Amino acid sequence: MKQLFTLLLIISTTLVFGQNLTTVYVDMSKYSGSFDKVQIQVEQEGWGLRDVTQDTTNPDIWYATIVSYGDANTPAKVQYKWAVVVGGVPTVEDIGANCYGGKVDNDFVWDYRQLPVADTGGEDAFHTSWWDFFNRVIVTDGATRQSANVFYFGTMRSNSVATTTITVNATSGSNYYINYDKGEGAWDDYADILAVDNGDDTHTATVRASAAFKYYWATGTGNQFSTGAATAEFADMGATCGGNRVHTAGSTGSDTYAVCPATASVTDIASSFSIYPNPVQNTLNVSATATVDSVSIFDLTGRQVLRATPNAAAFSLDVANLNKGLYLVSLKAGDQEMTTKLVK
């Protein structure tokens, strides 16, 4: 009996000290419908639904604590999803519906696809990795922690990632997609970002502010070109317009469907702006040939760390609080925009 008691005590102690408490968060501010409450379903709880807590300071944020077991040698992988409840009926989020090719968040999840699998790492402090499952995943390794990222409901788009937009003037009632070159040497057979129909013959696509890429628009009932579900605005952008549409990181774009983009010289635009010193320590000086409407500084994760609306052609910015590293500076003056690198 004494030996049995000792064995049970050892097992109990092991479970207590091996227990991981991980707090996960969801941002509901982008959810278009109304709901009564938010719930969570966790794999190790049998995928049953349970209520979660609403943040008292920010009602858009809801959170839950997941209990799991694991250590540095044998981490425990746990999957979970959020759900909204309307009239007592829960609806579980479908991450893949918004993240897979041609959907509105495809541009954001492209970064996550390049990161390690859930067993060894992920894109935030507690090892989230959705790619293997189209569920949310945490890997617990003996530590108690909470997420460094807060993702919007139904997506893997973090609410801390800075975004900008590209708008196309095109007939409402149809789908319009951005197909962009991610630097892989070839255009994808699937268009990547579905623009939101604004109902006024314009459609707006949201992209990461840190992203710079070549692109063109496509339309159709779906996003795949080889099946005929999508059709490019130009059969050959280079032959038709002498080049591709080019999106500068941090800029806000505006196009007209099937109308060739303007061919402003990059050299001309660059000569309109000057920032110095670079590298910078405390004060960044900006000089332009026109009134600068806005200036934004982004770190390499796409997070906006500084924004100003100087409405002046020459001005200074206090950057003393920025950490040492590489940044992107985006300047906009009327219809001229430029993004350049800044070293702190």
* Mean pLDDT to the nearest integer, 252-274: 71
Residue with tokens 């314009």: 202
Is 4 inside any structural domain?
no
What proportion of the chain, given as a percentage, has pLDDT over 70?
77
pTM of this prediction exceeds 0.75: no
pLDDT computed for residue 128 by the predictor: 61
Same domain for 96 and 54, yes or no, is: yes
Same domain for 297 and 225, yes or no, is: no
The continuous run of DSSP H or E covering 186 comes out as none
CATH of the domain at 292: 2.60.40.3080
Q: Which of 3, 83, 8 is CA-nearest to residue 42?
A: 83
Q: Most confidently modeled of 18-22, 90-94, 96-100, 256-260?
A: 90-94
Q: pLDDT tens digit string along 123-164?
A: 455 556 555 566 788 877 777 766 667 888 988 777 877 788
Is 5 inside any structural domain?
no
Angle, CA 196 vertex, CA 191 and CA 200 arms, to 5°: 125
Domain boundary among 221, 256, 291: 256
Q: What confidence tier does 4 reach under pLDDT thresholds 50, 70, 90?
A: very low
Q: Which of 215, 208, 25 is CA-nearest to residue 106?
A: 208
Residue 172 has pLDDT above 70, yes or no: yes
Token pair of 47, please? Answer: 């995928």
Q: Buried b vs exposed e over 174-199: b needs ≥16 C-beta within 10 Å?
A: ebbbbbbbeeeeebbebbbbbbebee
Residue 305 CB neighbour total at 10 angstroms: 15
Same domain for 136 and 170, yes or no, is: no
* Mean pLDDT to the nearest integer, 37-52: 93
Is 188 inside any structural domain?
yes
Environment class of residue 233 by beta-carbon count within 10 Å: exposed (0-12), middle (13-18) or buried (19+)? buried
Structural domain span for residue 320: 266-343
Domain boundary among 152, 176, 211: 152
- The CA distance from 107 to 111, in Å, is 8
Q: Which of 56, 32, 49 is CA-nearest to residue 85?
A: 49
CATH of the domain at 250: 2.60.40.10
Contact 298, 328 (CB under 8 A): yes
* Structural domain total, the chain: 3
Residue with tokens 């196009």: 255
- The CA distance from 106 to 157, in Å, is 9
- The CA distance from 300 to 326, in Å, is 7
- The CA distance from 192 to 179, in Å, is 5
Residue with tokens 């009134």: 291
Residue 14 CB neighbour total at 10 angstroms: 11
* Mean pLDDT to the nearest integer, 300-322: 87
Is 158 inside any structural domain?
no
Residue with tokens 């943040």: 55
- The CA distance from 189 to 227, in Å, is 9
Residue 13 has pLDDT above 50, yes or no: no
The continuous run of DSSP H or E covering 9 comes out as helix 2-17
Same domain for 134 and 192, yes or no, is: no
Q: pLDDT tens digit string along 96-127?
A: 777 665 566 666 655 544 444 444 444 455 55
